[in-house]
């Protein structure tokens, strides 16, 4: 099985060949300098906090131990392809083998069995990996709706997926397990969602029967001047919705600015939106809950209807 070794990965067989001993490895484990990824594979403790980085290293260690060819797939493929994930477990490496083969679930490995066309497989650093569109469909079939939508939104927004090809391939899933779940997630996905928070907000609002009519709406003055672009909007009620996450404010921060400067500019931006007779409703991560966001948006929409 082709594999590669990230610089932080320590394989027992490589360490012994370099002159280490099992006693030295055991001492570093006891002192907390190393952590065991899986039997025969170790990682320095200070590099294990990033779950994506840790998974990439676990993936390398697992591939080095495989005795039969397999294609890296599902969330493991997303990690290798550099595609963002949210709410997805990364404690096992996922691979797919073509039939005849048997599925396998272990502590560190999940082996799927499925047909793979030639264009379903790409090469990433010498490793066979499912293509972006095949990876997206595999995740859409196997993940819950919310993390599937978050992934699809992000990949579409980054132009890593072609929406037409994605829709066509979804139709071609036929009776494959999870095909209906994949079709639902693909229909709902929208590359205009610019963050995990916006994608999760859309899913929750849809579930509450409060889905916005559009995303990334340009608010303009009567003479066509640009005022702002809103995350979500309910056009009939003239209400816009804004998800406020720390990442968003960090992204808006310009050289020499302090966080307070960005908050002040956001306040001026909101005032400008209200000046054009649009209502504004905002929420944060902590408020992304049905019994908090639902009533808040409902009240904003009722105020909008009264204004109209």
- CATH code of the domain covering residue 235: 3.40.960.10
Hunting for tokens 């779950």 — which residue is that?
51
Q: What is the pLDDT of residues 234-286, one digit of tens each?
A: 999 999 999 986 544 444 444 554 545 556 577 788 889 999 999 999 999 99
pLDDT more than 70, % of the chain: 88
Residues 59 and 91 in one domain: no
The reply to whether 167 and 215 lie within a common domain is no
Q: Please say which residue of 67, 88, 109 terminates a domain.
A: 67
Q: Final residue of a domain: which of 139, 161, 191?
A: 191
pLDDT tier for residue 308 given thresholds of 50, 70 and 90? confident
Task: Please report the pLDDT score of residue 257 as a whole number.
Answer: 46
pLDDT for res 106: 81
Same domain, 72 and 176: yes
pLDDT digits (tens, 9 = 90+) for 183-219: 999 999 999 999 999 999 999 999 999 999 999 999 9
pTM for this entry? 0.80
Mean pLDDT across the chain? 86
Specify whether the CB–CB gap between 163 and 191 falls below 8 A.
yes
Do 157 and 247 have their domain in common?
A: no
Give the chain's domain count.
Answer: 3
- Predicted local confidence at residue 253, as pLDDT: 41
Q: How far apart are CA 227 and CA 221, in angstroms?
A: 7
> What are 132's two structure tokens?
């972006």
- Which whole number is the average pLDDT over 82-109? 89
| 17-21, 60-64, 128-132, 184-188: least confident range | 17-21
At 242-256, the pLDDT tens digits run: 998 654 444 444 455
Residues 73 and 186 in one domain: yes
Same structural domain, 78 and 27: no
Is 72 found in the same domain as 59? no
Of 46-60, 69-83, 287-301, which gets the smallest average pLDDT?
46-60
308 or 222, which is more confident: 222
Which domain covers residue 56, as residue numbers? 1-67
Average the pLDDT over 157-163 and give the result. Answer: 95
Q: Please state, in angstroms and rounded to a whole number, the distance separating the CA atoms of residues 91 and 89.
A: 6
Do 156 and 206 lie in a common domain?
no
* Region of poorest pLDDT, from 20-29, 216-225, 243-252: 243-252
29 and 136 both lie in a single domain = no
Retrieve residue 169's tokens: 């391939």
Q: Mean pLDDT across the stretch 27-40?
A: 73
The per-residue pLDDT for 46 is 61
Q: Do 186 and 72 share a structural domain?
A: yes
Both structure tokens of 177: 């397990």
Angle 59-48-194 (CA atoms, 0-180°, nearest 5)?
A: 80
Segment among 18-27, 50-59, 240-249, 259-268 with least mean pLDDT = 259-268
* Confidence at residue 141, expressed as pLDDT on a 0 to 100 scale: 96
- Cα(162)–Cα(2) distance, integer angstroms: 29
Same domain? 106 vs 172? yes
Whether residue 180 has a cis bond before it, omega within 30° of 0:
no
Six-digit token string for 174: 């036929």
pLDDT band at 142; cut points 50, 70, 90 = very high
| Residues paired with residue 279 on neighbouring β-strands, in sequence order | 239
DSSP at 254: P
**Positive or negative, the Cα torsion across 127, 133, 139, 141?**
negative
User: Could you tell me which residues are beta bridge partners of residue 123?
Assistant: 128
Is the domain of 95 the same as that of 155? yes
Greatest extent of the chain over all pairs of C-alpha atoms, in Å: 78
Last residue of a domain, one of 24, 47, 67: 67
Residue 104, pLDDT above cutoff 80 = no
| Mean pLDDT along residues 122-129 | 93
């Amino acid at each position: 099985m082709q594999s590669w070794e990230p610089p932080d990965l320590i394989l027992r067989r490589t360490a012994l060949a370099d002159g280490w001993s099992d006693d030295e490895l055991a001492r570093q484990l006891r002192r907390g300098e190393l952590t065991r990824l899986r039997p025969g594979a170790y990682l320095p403790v200070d590099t294990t906090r990033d779950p994506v980085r840790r998974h990439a290293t676990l993936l390398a260690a697992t591939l080095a131990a495989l005795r039969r060819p397999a294609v890296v797939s599902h969330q493991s493929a997303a990690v290798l392809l550099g595609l963002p994930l949210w709410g997805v477990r990364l404690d096992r490496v996922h691979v797919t083998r073509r039939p005849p083969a048997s599925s396998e679930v272990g502590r560190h490995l999940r082996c799927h069995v499925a047909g793979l066309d030639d264009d379903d497989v790409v090469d990433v650093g010498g490793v066979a990996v499912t293509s972006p569109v095949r990876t997206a469909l595999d995740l859409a079939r196997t993940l819950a709706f919310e993390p599937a939508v978050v992934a699809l939104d992000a990949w579409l927004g980054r132009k890593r997926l072609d929406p037409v090809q994605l829709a066509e391939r979804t139709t071609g899933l036929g009776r494959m397990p999870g095909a209906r779940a994949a079709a639902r997630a693909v229909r709902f996905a929208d590359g205009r969602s610019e963050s995990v928070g916006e994608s999760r907000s859309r899913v929750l609002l849809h579930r509450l029967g409060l889905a916005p009519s559009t995303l990334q709406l340009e608010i303009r003055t009567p003479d066509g001047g640009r005022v702002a672009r809103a995350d979500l909007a309910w056009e009939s009620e003239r209400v816009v919705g804004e998800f406020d996450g720390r990442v968003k404010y960090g992204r808006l921060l310009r050289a020499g600015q302090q966080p307070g400067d960005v908050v002040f500019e956001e306040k001026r931006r909101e005032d400008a939106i209200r000046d054009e007779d649009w209502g504004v409703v905002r929420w944060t991560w902590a408020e992304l809950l049905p019994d908090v966001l639902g009533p808040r948006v409902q009240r904003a929409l009722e105020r909008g209807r009264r204004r109209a």
